[in-house]
Amino acid sequence: MQTVRHLSVPATLSELRHSFSAARTAVCLIEVFAAVLLAVEVTILLCGAIWRYALNSPLIWSDELASSLFSWLAMMGAVLALIRGEHMKMTAVVKRWSPALQDWAESVSSLIVCVFVAMVMLPAGQHAIGQMEITTPALNIPDGLRAFALPFGAALMSLVAVAKAFSLGSFRRTAWAILTVAIVVAILWVSAPALIAMGNLNLLVFFVALVGVAIVLGTPIAFAFGIATVSYLALVTHAPLAIVVSRMDEGMANLVLLAVPVFVLLGGMLELSGMALALINFMCSLLGHVRGGLQYVLLGAIFLVSGISGSKAADMAAVAPALFPEMQKRGSDPEELAALLSASGAMTETIPPSLVLITIGAVCGVSINALFVGGLMPAVVATVTIALVCWLRTRHEKPTHAQRAPVKQILRTFVIALPALLLPILIRVAVIEGIATATEVSTIGVAYTLVVAVIARLCGKPVELRRLYGMCVDAAALSGAILLIIGLATSMAWALTRSGFSSQLVSLMQSVPGGTIGFLLVTIACFAILGSVLEGIPAIVLFGPLLFPVARSMQISDVHYAMVVILAMGVGLFAPPFGVGFYAACAIGKVSPDGVSRRVWPYMLALLIALVLVTFIPWVSTGFLGATPNF
């Protein structure tokens, strides 16, 4: 008679956690794959640009190969972001809860990810198999090889999500999370006939209530969009879930968006090469001796490096640690510095090569060249208004003890900073003049920065080139998170369009009292709210394709409307108490948000003044485009 070994629940759970941990460790091998993919993408695009512009012999296969690899890079990046907890999400509410409730909420959000990927995995596989029948024109290979990135990535994300759900808290807490999700699924399933009978009011259930609850619980925004979309299509429509996959694939495969991971990598390389620090040192030698001089240096540095990293937090983190210690030595209040940092992040949302500009160009059909031209003057206006607040706040300070830098020191720091000063000019001029596309110029910028880093190392500077691998992994993860939002927001936007909501929204916006002025004011209010919750890119992907045609029907320039939208979202993103960018600035400044929130409002008021000026003086956005539309 065999002896039966009785396993206790805690022992079984421990074994499960160990196996999930091993699975997660195995998935981390994707880092190497993602880093190599990004390096290969940069090489292919750089070679394509050189052969096209320098050798006048275009490589007809380069864009096609880059596009095929891009789908794999996006999905592997999304997997990495899930492993590392770097998907965009709102945690301001959950952080106020007890540790037990936080663990429960994180388990629920992980299970939401599991449910979503389980619902799309089979349609993703079918979509990839269907794409095998299509061959690419230049390389003559099946397009399914590219499309298989979606089911492969979904499978990996399901493993990661399950591992996270069962590795948090106690077995009882995990069981409660599973029960919570099961109850919600059962309620939605049983309520399907009633939801169908509600007509378009059921959109409030799926795209307001369900998305809102998921986001409040800390579910990554991309998966909150995804679960709402598949739930809506599965329960109240006859549309196949393959539509979600195809729209997601379409949204993520746009070659214009390949600039996203490359610009993110470029931002990291700016810090690696020492160019960001050299730029700050030069500006300090010019302005460090005047009252509030370092505040102006902070504004100028953010203006010059903004948009290149692909993350507002990364922009701020590249500048603040180099400036804040010296500013505090000179008597600046840490909370005041964090407030200024928050405002400076909001003011530069329109500066090229901002990823929000690239996203608008890709999903709304607006010329990226025109957006790059139009984005500079609104940022200048916002910078001047912020600088005015700095002057008002520092004009009565005691004179600084810092000495005016001698001319010799200014010239020396200028020479050292010259490569950093030339890079933003190189990027913006190349795109604005049509010399290269935004994607191509991003690879040129990476090559340029790498050459500078190698030269600096040969000259004895402490440049750690071994950090390039980690930067490639970081860039892949951040861009994967961004691209997954774009893909799933594209699917959600299609569902809203299919329901008829888009036409209703267009009619509503066109009937706003006040005509064009009323429409612009409503736009500002809506995107300020959306920016505080969703950040820029998901809000643009969801509502940009719906509202830009309305703006065109009112004879508002696409570029002008884009600047209004972006600045409004910037104000929402960095305004307390909901703006996630505001909390990022406080974290970088290492201060409590409570004290900063009292000091940030004068800067927010200055940004609102800048927004009003940009809104009602279209020339600010379009004056250098050769056309000034009237209201």
Q: Which residue has the tokens 């409503």?
A: 522
* Residue 163 tokens, joined: 């591992």
Using CA atoms, how far apart are residues 501 and 207, in angstroms rounded to an integer?
A: 11
**Taking a C-beta distance cutoff of 8 angstroms, is the pair 195, 236 a contact?**
yes
Using CA atoms, how far apart are residues 161 and 115, in angstroms rounded to an integer?
A: 10
Using CA atoms, how far apart are residues 366 and 368, in angstroms rounded to an integer?
A: 6
Question: Is the bond preceding 538 in cis, omega lying within 30 degrees of 0?
Answer: no
The backbone torsions φ and ψ at residue 371, rounded to the nearest 5 degrees and listed phi first, read -65, -40
What pLDDT score does 627 carry? 46
Residues of the chain with confidence (pLDDT) below 50: 1-11, 13, 16, 310, 627-631
Using CA atoms, how far apart are residues 248 and 528, in angstroms rounded to an integer?
A: 26
* Residue 418 tokens, joined: 């010259």
DSSP notation for 304-356: HHTTTSS-HHHHHHHHHHHHHHHHHHTT--HHHHHHHHHHHHHHTTTSTT-HH
**Taking a C-beta distance cutoff of 8 angstroms, is the pair 209, 475 a contact?**
no
**Taking a C-beta distance cutoff of 8 angstroms, is the pair 279, 304 a contact?**
yes
Give the CA-trace dihedral at 140, 146, 148, 154, to 10 degrees. Answer: 180
Domain definitions of the chain by residue range: 10-253, 258-463+499-625
What pLDDT score does 76 carry? 92
Using CA atoms, how far apart are residues 489 and 301, in angstroms rounded to an integer?
A: 33
**Taking a C-beta distance cutoff of 8 angstroms, is the pair 587, 342 a contact?**
no
Who contacts 612 (Cβ-Cβ below 8 Å, separation ≥6)?
none
Long-range contacts at 277-282 (CB < 8 A, ≥ 24 apart): 277/322, 278/413, 278/416, 278/417, 278/419, 278/420, 279/304, 279/305, 279/417, 279/420, 279/421, 280/319, 280/322, 280/323, 281/413, 281/416, 281/417, 282/410, 282/413, 282/414, 282/416, 282/417, 282/421
Using CA atoms, how far apart are residues 487 and 495, in angstroms rounded to an integer?
A: 13
What pLDDT score does 292 carry? 65
